[in-house]
Amino acid sequence: MNRRKVGGKYEDEAVSYLEENGYRILERNYRDHRFGELDAIGQKDGAIVFFEIKYRSGSACGSPLEAVDKRKRRKISRTALHYLTSKGYGLYSPCRFDVIGISGDRQIKHITNAFEYCGTM
């Protein structure tokens, strides 16, 4: 199985987990050609939530949560800003950035409010 299919499979698992926990999924794999991709965008308790979903089959490359480094956070932040403005949300709409890590044993770790916006306006 190629990496894209594997990633898609675990994104499906993460989205199922989110829906079971009360999130309404607004979009999946939102892409902006200039900034990047958001794995999933959801809504819960009045906030828009941008999800980065990472899977690691083993620990050789570190935990899935460690893969969301400063460069990746900046890219996610800029893509989220584009999403908000393109969909007509105000810049001060309540939102947050969550990271979901799935390890080889299929254990899901959900870090809410994992990082703050780290881009430039």
What are the boundaries of each domain within the chain? 3-115
pTM of the complete model: 0.88
* Residue 106 or residue 80, greater confidence: 80
**Distance between CA 77 and CA 38 in Å, rounded?**
9
Distance CA 47, CA 87 (A): 14
47 and 95 in contact (C-beta within 8 Å)? Answer: yes
Average pLDDT in the 48-75 region?
Answer: 79
Q: How many CB atoms lie within 10 A of CB 92?
A: 7
- The model's confidence at residue 17, banded by pLDDT at 50, 70 and 90, is very high
Q: Which CATH architecture has domain 3-115?
A: 3-Layer(aba) Sandwich (3.40)
Which is more confident, 120 or 31?
31
> Is the predicted pLDDT of residue 59 greater than 90, yes or no?
no
Decide: 64 and 7 in contact? Cβ < 8 Å.
no
d(CA 44, CA 54) in angstroms, rounded, equals: 21
The residues near 90 (Cβ < 8 Å, ≥ 6 apart) are 84
Taking residues 92-106, report their average pLDDT. 87
The pLDDT, as a whole number, for residue 56 is: 73
CA pair distance 49, 23, nearest whole angstrom: 9
